[in-house]
Amino acid sequence: MQKNSPVRILAIESSCDETAAAVMIDGENLVSNVVASQMEIHARYGGVYPEVASRQHVLSILPVIKQCLAEAHLSLADMDAIAVTSGPGLAGSLVVGLNAAKGLAIGAGKPLIGVNHLEGHIYSSWVKKPGENRATVAEKAFPHIALLVSGGHTEIILMRDHLEFEKLGSTLDDAAGEAFDKTARLIGLPYPGGPSIQEAALQGDDTSFNFTKARTDKLYDFSFSGLKTAVLREVRNFEKNQVEIPKADLAASFQRSVVETLVQKTILAAEEHHVRSILVAGGVSANQKLRDEFAKHTDWDVFFPEFEFCTDNAAMIGAAGYFRFIKHQYSSLAIDVEPTWSISR
């Protein structure tokens, strides 16, 4: 590779229920981005149905990659590497993207880079859309604190440098997104629960219910299952008394409790580790109440991904893949999926 020549990465993501491909340049400039969502299919089951997800990935993966390259007006031969999510996630979903990436890497003679999905979410704050001049975290000095809140994970992570992560705490039971999804189901709101609770909460009073916040032995750990049970208890009471469930008030009070806990713990971690920048990532980072609460803490630069990069996408995998590429962290073609791959090991 010539010095200073742009590094083009084709990135592939299929860890859960989105089949996605993106072309990224130099870890921050998005060229093209395609996401085939299976949300409508899984909504029928009230959650992701792994067998169905895997089958859908098989059907979508090649058309998505082809469309992504076509929209970029580039071919496989123009790429410097193929980055792919190799974990964590659903094994039957991961394997589809990983095998497609291996095939392309072998066929085109390009390096293969296995990327951790959680690391990808954190790098979503680096992604800039074509023509976008937004200030990103790329200009800020390390360390950063990252709050990763998705359907499967809730973690506070100290990012000391590129690809250097230390997990400070995580959830002991439900992930934040999972808590939104399960609570939505309890109060009769549609899947996925995050967006439907956010919408219902707009009409509600968030002080109607004062749900107690869980205490955890370790400061940066989380626990959301008690909150879910508290909501269930309220729902049962309303049902027993044949009173209509106050969905909006329950949604607003639940959302306030989750958001306050997430923000408080993240700010404490930022203070303790003397960081100035906070990165919020994962599906729940799309939540407006979470964004509004963080905005009150003006002492910190808080970075959120663009809305479309909060939920699963391949642009973030291309950003993380770039930093692995420049460190020559290539993967062997024998690499397998790692459904439980933790971010710091």
By CB under 6 A, is residue 192 in contact with ligand KG4? yes
Q: Which of residues 141-170 bind Zn ion (CB under 5 A)?
A: 150
By CB under 6 A, is residue 180 in contact with ligand KG4? yes
Q: Of 79, 83, 106, whose CA–CA distance to 21 is shortest? A: 83
By CB under 6 A, is residue 19 in contact with ligand KG4? no
Calculate the alpha carbon distances from 65 to 20, 146, 276 in Å: 8, 30, 38
d(CA 252, CA 246): 10
Among positions 87, 111, 169, 177, the unique one binding ligand KG4 when judged by CB under 6 A:
177
- Give the H or E element holding residue 170: strand 164-170
Calculate the alpha carbon distances from 205 to 38, 84, 129, 194, 208 in Å: 33, 43, 36, 17, 6
194 binds, among Zn ion, ligand KG4, none (CB under 5 to 8 A by kind): ligand KG4
284 binds, among ligand KG4, Zn ion, none (CB under 5 to 8 A by kind): ligand KG4
Residues that contact ligand KG4, how many (by CB under 6 A): 20
d(CA 51, CA 194): 23
CB of 100 to Zn ion, least distance (A): 18
d(CA 11, CA 86): 11
By CB under 6 A, is residue 198 in contact with ligand KG4? yes
In the three-class reduction of DSSP (H, G, I as helix; E, B as strand; rest coil), residue 23 is classed as strand
By CB under 6 A, is residue 283 in contact with ligand KG4? yes
| Token digits of residue 200 | 């219902």
Task: Tell me, residue by residue from 111 to 150, as one string, x for binding to ligand KG4 by CB under 6 A and - for no binding.
Answer: ---------------------------------------x
By CB under 6 A, is residue 312 in contact with ligand KG4? yes
Give residues in contact with ligand KG4 (CB under 6 A).
16, 150-152, 177-178, 180-181, 192-195, 198, 282-284, 286-287, 311-312
